[in-house]
């Protein structure tokens, strides 16, 4: 296998695994908010139900559309579809990000958790805005890079909830666990993404 097919295989694996985990997260954690009752939302989310449903609907759209934007066959053969999905994705991150920001500022648990999720909301809005500005300026390379960062951040909340389930018995103090995950769910994936983005350019000679 040459290095190009290896890179393609890795990309396909990441996209398919990310998509499968996203569908599981939606099924397990998000669908219940489509039943608009206090029982379904619970005491914690019910007072913010309007924000939650907006956040969940547009968060789901971004989560599901995102991976398709990285499939070269769609980009190359159906450019118009790619554009429309891109507009829908970025609009969704904007709306869900504003709702996420409000929800982070009204969440409880502790300050580490609140600030970590507020950071996630700010970085979600920032990466989406940068992806939009770069494509408006026809800078395809920067647009691609910012879209990678944006989707890594979109997936951050899924990673947060899945890791929360996995670590329940290891980090038994809920405040510690949620505080730790609210930061690590986006900072570590973003660092890995950045290394991958920059590694591709390391052999470029600066002029």
- Binders of ligand HEM in range 96-125 (CB under 6 A): 100, 103-104, 107, 117, 120-121, 124
- Expressed in angstroms, the distance from the first to the final Cα of the chain is 33
> Contact, 68 vs 85, CB < 8 A?
yes
CA 154/CA 126 separation, integer angstroms:
12
Whole-Å CA distances, 194 to 8, 10, 110, 148, 199: 18, 16, 29, 9, 8
Q: What does the per-residue mask of binding to ligand HEM show for 14-53, with x meaning CB under 6 A? A: ------------x--xx--x------------------x-
Q: Which is nearer to ligand HEM, 17 or 140 (CB)?
A: 17
Residue reference for tokens 């070269």: 72
Q: Which of 156, 159, 177, 181 binds ligand HEM (CB under 6 A)?
A: 156
Q: Which of 69, 134, 150, 154 binds ligand HEM (CB under 6 A)?
A: 154
> If binding is defined by CB under 6 A, does position 161 make contact with ligand HEM?
yes
* Tokens describing residue 106: 């009204």
CA 59/CA 54 separation, integer angstroms:
8
> If binding is defined by CB under 6 A, does position 147 make contact with ligand HEM?
no
Q: Which spans of this chain sit near ligand HEM (rule: CB under 6 A)?
A: 26, 29-30, 33, 52, 55-56, 59-60, 62-63, 100, 103-104, 107, 117, 120-121, 124, 153-154, 156-157, 161
């Amino acid at each position: 296998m040459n290095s190009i097919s290896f890179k393609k295989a890795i990309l396909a694996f990441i996209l398919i695994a990310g998509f499968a985990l996203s569908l599981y997260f939606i099924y397990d954690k998000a669908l219940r908010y489509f039943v608009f009752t206090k029982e379904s939302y619970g005491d914690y989310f019910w007072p913010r139900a309007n924000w939650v449903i907006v956040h969940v609907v547009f968060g789901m759209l971004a989560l599901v559309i995102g991976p398709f934007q990285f499939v070269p066959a769609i980009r190359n053969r159906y450019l118009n579809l790619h554009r429309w999905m891109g507009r829908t994705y970025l609009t969704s991150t904007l709306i869900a990000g504003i709702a996420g920001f409000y929800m982070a500022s009204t969440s409880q648990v502790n300050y580490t958790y609140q600030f970590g999720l507020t950071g996630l909301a700010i970085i979600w809005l920032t990466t989406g805005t940068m992806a939009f500005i770069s494509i408006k300026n026809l800078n395809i390379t920067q647009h691609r890079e910012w879209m990678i960062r944006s989707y890594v951040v979109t997936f951050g909340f899924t990673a947060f909830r899945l890791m929360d389930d996995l670590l329940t018995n290891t980090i038994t103090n809920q405040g510690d666990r949620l505080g730790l995950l609210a930061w690590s769910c986006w900072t570590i994936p973003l660092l890995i993404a950045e290394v991958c983005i920059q590694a591709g350019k390391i052999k470029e000679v600066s002029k």
